[in-house]
Chains A and B, each alone.
Chain A
Amino acid sequence: MSRRVTFGGRLIDRHQTMPFVFDGERMCGHPGDTLASALLANGIRLVGRSFKYHRPRGVFAAGIEEPNALVTVGEGPRATPNLRATVVPLVPDLAARSQNRWPSLGFDLGAVADLAARFLPAGFYYKTFMWPRWAWEKIYEPLIRRAAGLGPAPAAPDPDHYEQIHVEVDVLVAGGGVAGLMAAETAARAGARVLVMEAAAHWGGRAPVEGEEIDGRPAEIWVEETLARLTASDKVTVRSRSLVAGVYDHGHVVAVETLDRPLAGGSLDGAVLRQRLWHIRARRIVNACGAIERPLVFPGNDRPGVMLASAVRDHLINWGVAPLERPVILTVNDEGYHTAELLLEAGIAVAALVDLRPKGAGALERALRARGVRVILGAGVTATHGRKGVKGVTIGRVKTGETLTRLACDGVAMAGGWSPSVHLWSHAGGKLLWDEAAQLFRPDPTRPPRGGDGAPLVIAAGAAAGDLEIGAALAGGRAAGLEAAEALGLERPDMPLPASRGRPAGTRSGDWVVPRRAKAAQKERMFVDLQNDVKLADLELAVREGYESVEHAKRYTTWGMATDQAKTSGINGLAALSLARGAPIPAIGTTTFRPPFAPVTFGAIAGLARGPLFKPLRKTAIDGWHEAAGAVWENVADWRRPFSYPRKGETREEAAAREVLAVRQKVGMLDASTLGKILVKGPDAGRFLDMLYINTMSTLPVGRCRYGVMLNEQGFVIDDGVVVRLAEDSFLCHTTTGGAGHVHGWMEEWLQTEWWDWQVFTLDQTEAFAQIAVAGPKAREVLVALGVKGADISPEGLPFMHSCAAEIAGIPGRIHRISFSGELSFELAVPADRGLELWEKLAEVGAPFGITPYGTEAMHILRAEKGYIIVGDETDGTVTPHDLGLGRMISKKKTDFIGKRGLERPFLRRADRWRLVGLEPVDGQTLLPVGAHATDHGINMFGQRRAIGRVTTSHFSPTLGRPIALGLVERGPERLGEEIDFLTTEGETIRARIVDPVFHDREGRRLHG
Chain B
Amino acid sequence: MKGYGAWSLIREGLRHHLGWGRAWGSPAPRRRYEVVIVGAGGHGLATAYYLARNHGITDIAVLEKSWLGGGNTGRNTTIIRSNYLHDPSAAIYEKARQLYETLSQELDFNIMFSPRGVMMLAQTEHEKRVWQRVAHANVLQGIDTRFIGPEEVKRRVPIINIDGPRYPVLGALWQPRGGTARHDAVAWGYARALDRMGVHIIENCEVTGIRTEGGKVVGVETGKGPIDCGKLALVVAGHSSRLAEMAGFRLPMESVTLQALVSEPVKPMLDVVVMANTVHGYISQSDKGELVIGGGTDGYVNYTRRGAFQHVEETVAALVETFPVLGRLRLMRQWGGIVDVTGDRSPILSKTPVENLFVNCGWGTGGFKAIPGSGWAMAELVATGEPGALAEPFALSRFREGRFIDESVAAGVAH
Question: Which of B88, B91, B289, B408 is most buried by chain A, counting CB atoms within 10 A of its CB?
Answer: B289
Q: Are B389 and A941 interface neighbours, CB within 8 A?
A: yes
Contacts of B398 in A (CB 8 A): 907
Q: Any chain A CB within 8 A of the CB of B215? A: no
Shortest beta-carbon distance, A841 to chain B, in Å?
31
Q: Any chain A CB within 8 A of the CB of B147? A: yes
Q: Are B13 and A119 interface neighbours, CB within 8 A?
A: yes
Tell me the residues in window 293-350 of chain B with beta carbons closer than 8 Å to chain A beta carbons.
Answer: 304, 306, 308-309, 312-313, 316-321, 324-335, 343-344
Q: Any chain A CB within 8 A of the CB of B137? A: yes
- Least CB separation from A608: chain B residue: B317
Q: Any chain A CB within 8 A of the CB of B206? A: no
Contacts of B129 in A (CB 8 A): 873, 930-931
Q: Any chain B CB within 8 A of the CB of A602? A: yes
Beyond A82-B266, A149-B268, whether A551 also contacts B319 by CB under 8 A is no
Distance between Cα atoms of A544 and B24 in the complex (Å): 11
Segment at the B interface, from A25-33, A302-310, A592-600, A783-791: A592-600
**B109 touches which one: A126, A152, A155 (CB < 8 A)?**
A126
Q: Any chain A CB within 8 A of the CB of B125? A: yes
Shortest beta-carbon distance, B193 to chain A, in Å?
13
Contacts of B116 in A (CB 8 A): 137
Contacts of B214 in A (CB 8 A): none
Question: Which of B88, B124, B139, B343 is most buried by chain A, counting CB atoms within 10 A of its CB?
Answer: B139
Contacts of B335 in A (CB 8 A): 592, 594
Shortest beta-carbon distance, B311 to chain A, in Å?
11
Contacts of A960 in B (CB 8 A): none
Shortest beta-carbon distance, B82 to chain A, in Å?
12
Q: Are A429 and B304 interface neighbours, CB within 8 A?
A: yes
**What band does the interface of chain B fall in when counting residues whose beta carbon is under 8 Å from A?**
35 or more
Shortest beta-carbon distance, B180 to chain A, in Å?
10
Q: Any chain A CB within 8 A of the CB of B267? A: yes
- Least CB separation from B134: chain A residue: A931
Q: Are A544 and B20 interface neighbours, CB within 8 A?
A: yes
Beyond A602-B327, A944-B87, whether A931 also contacts B389 by CB under 8 A is no
A-B CB pair tally, cutoff 8 Å: 343
Contacts of A552 in B (CB 8 A): 67, 69
Distance between Cα atoms of A80 and B263 in the complex (Å): 13
Segment at the B interface, from A41-49, A244-252, A315-323, A886-894: A244-252
Tell me the residues in window 915-952 of chain A with beta carbons closer than 8 Å to chain B beta carbons.
Answer: 929-933, 935, 940-947, 950
Q: Are A520 and B312 interface neighbours, CB within 8 A?
A: no
Q: Are A605 and B17 interface neighbours, CB within 8 A?
A: no
- Least CB separation from A543: chain B residue: B22
Beyond A635-B167, A872-B126, whether A121 also contacts B13 by CB under 8 A is yes
Beyond A127-B9, A603-B327, whether A520 also contacts B18 by CB under 8 A is yes
Distance between Cα atoms of A907 and B403 in the complex (Å): 6
Contacts of B412 in A (CB 8 A): none
Q: Any chain B CB within 8 A of the CB of A112? A: no
Q: Any chain B CB within 8 A of the CB of A573? A: no
Q: Are A153 and B400 interface neighbours, CB within 8 A?
A: no
**A127 touches which one: B5, B166, B325 (CB < 8 A)?**
B5
Distance between Cα atoms of A121 and B8 in the complex (Å): 12
Contacts of A549 in B (CB 8 A): 66-67, 70, 203
Beyond A128-B5, A149-B268, A985-B146, whether A600 also contacts B87 by CB under 8 A is no
Shortest beta-carbon distance, A52 to chain B, in Å?
10
Q: Are B330 and A634 interface neighbours, CB within 8 A?
A: no
Tell me the residues in window 497-512 of chain A with beta carbons closer than 8 Å to chain B beta carbons.
Answer: none
Q: Are A158 and B327 interface neighbours, CB within 8 A?
A: yes
Distance between Cα atoms of A635 and B124 in the complex (Å): 6
Shortest beta-carbon distance, B15 to chain A, in Å?
8
- Least CB separation from B403: chain A residue: A907
Q: Any chain B CB within 8 A of the CB of A655? A: no
0/1 string, A225-257, CB within 8 A of B gives 1: 000000000000000000000101100101000
- Mark A residues whose CB is within 8 Å of B: 51, 78-82, 118-119, 121, 124-131, 133, 136-137, 141, 144-146, 148-158, 160, 246, 248-249, 252, 254, 279, 427-429, 520-521, 523-524, 537, 541, 544-547, 549, 551-552, 555-556, 558, 563, 565, 592, 594-596, 599-603, 605-607, 609-612, 614-615, 617, 634-636, 714-716, 738, 872-873, 876-878, 902, 905-908, 929-933, 935, 940-947, 950, 983-985, 987
Sample 26 A-B pairs with CB under 8 A, ordered by A number: A127-B5, A130-B5, A130-B104, A145-B287, A153-B266, A544-B20, A549-B67, A549-B70, A556-B184, A556-B188, A594-B333, A594-B335, A602-B329, A605-B317, A606-B313, A612-B166, A615-B167, A635-B167, A636-B126, A907-B398, A908-B402, A930-B132, A935-B140, A946-B140, A947-B137, A985-B146
10 shortest interchain CB distances as A-B pairs: A158-B327, A149-B289, A931-B133, A905-B402, A153-B269, A157-B324, A599-B330, A520-B16, A546-B22, A942-B91
